[in-house]
Amino acid sequence: MGEDLFWAITGGGGSSFGVVLAYKIKLVRVPSRVTVFRVTRTYEENLMNIVYSYQQVADKLPEEIFVRMTLDVVSSSVRTGEKTNRATFLTMFLGDSEKLLSLMNETFPDLGLKQSDLTEMSWVESVLFWTNFPAGTPVNILLSRVLQCINWKYLGSDYDYQILMAIRSFNFKPVVHNIINPVQNQLKNLVQNQLKSQKSNNPKGIET
């Protein structure tokens, strides 16, 4: 079994520690070029309406696009010495920038996305983008076994099917950092597929 695995099993107990022994990866086709963007909006830039709009459309976008929103508190560039709420939108689209811009302006116009916000790159280069490597970093850095960035964090994660309006709940508290991923649709699909599978295996609904 190995001493590392044994140490992990005996360390935290069944309620607080999990050990993954095996997993399967489902591969998906990606185009030769993908498009990414990272844009920020503050409270002074119509943030409340933008966040509300995001929550209405994020989980209904096509599977080719993923839009993550993070909420935090930063120093205001408008009011000296004061804090303000900020939302950062991180996105990857399996397609070119022209198609992404058209899609976002149609489904999420409140964000005010511009062509200059978008960057086309290969999928491998997008890995560097998501891990915050500086622009222009060569992709062969991914072969390095040495940690390039040490930034430890303690994070909690949960799922919420309901609309989340988090801004008012953490008004200008500097310790709060929320990451919101639009996974509602995927969760619903998982549940529906599981129910279909159970029904096909037991079409008459006979209890076993």
Looking at residues 41-50, what average pLDDT do you find?
Answer: 89
How many secondary structure helices (H) and strands (E) does the chain include? 5, 5
The answer to whether residue 150 sits within a structural domain is yes
The answer to whether residue 179 sits within a structural domain is yes
Domain span including residue 127: 30-195
Phi, psi angle pair for 83, to nearest 5°:
-100, 160
DSSP 183: -
With contact defined as beta carbons under 8 Å apart, do 176 and 170 qualify?
yes
**Which residue is it, tokens 């390095």?**
144
**Confidence at residue 163, expressed as pLDDT on a 0 to 100 scale:** 45
Please tell me which of 17-21, 150-154, 156-160, 161-165 the model is most confident about, judged by mean pLDDT.
17-21
Looking at residues 12-34, what average pLDDT do you find?
Answer: 77
Structural domain count of the chain: 1
Looking at residues 5-28, what average pLDDT do you find?
Answer: 69
The answer to whether residue 101 sits within a structural domain is yes
Which of 117, 151, 124 shows the shortest CA–CA distance to 138?
Answer: 124
CATH code: domain of residue 68: 3.40.462
Which of 40, 15, 34 shows the shortest CA–CA distance to 94?
Answer: 34
The answer to whether residue 129 sits within a structural domain is yes
The answer to whether residue 7 sits within a structural domain is no
Q: How confident is the model at residue 96 (pLDDT cuts 50, 70, 90)?
A: very high
**Which residue is it, tokens 């998501």?**
130
CA dihedral 142, 117, 183, 108 (to 10 degrees): -170
Q: Please give the radius of gyration of the chain, using alpha carbons only, rounded to the nearest integer.
A: 21
The answer to whether residue 205 sits within a structural domain is no
Helix (H) or strand (E) holding 185: helix 184-201
What's the whole-number average pLDDT of the chain? 78
The answer to whether residue 164 sits within a structural domain is yes
The answer to whether residue 98 sits within a structural domain is yes
* CA pair distance 181, 58, nearest whole angstrom: 8
- pTM for the whole structure: 0.71
Least confident range of 1-5, 34-38, 63-67, 77-81 = 1-5
**Confidence at residue 198, expressed as pLDDT on a 0 to 100 scale:** 61
Which of 5 and 122 is assigned the larger pLDDT?
122
With contact defined as beta carbons under 8 Å apart, do 31 and 95 qualify?
yes
Q: How confident is the model at residue 123 (pLDDT cuts 50, 70, 90)?
A: very high
Distances (CA, A) of 67 to 38, 42, 92, 116, 134: 10, 17, 7, 18, 21
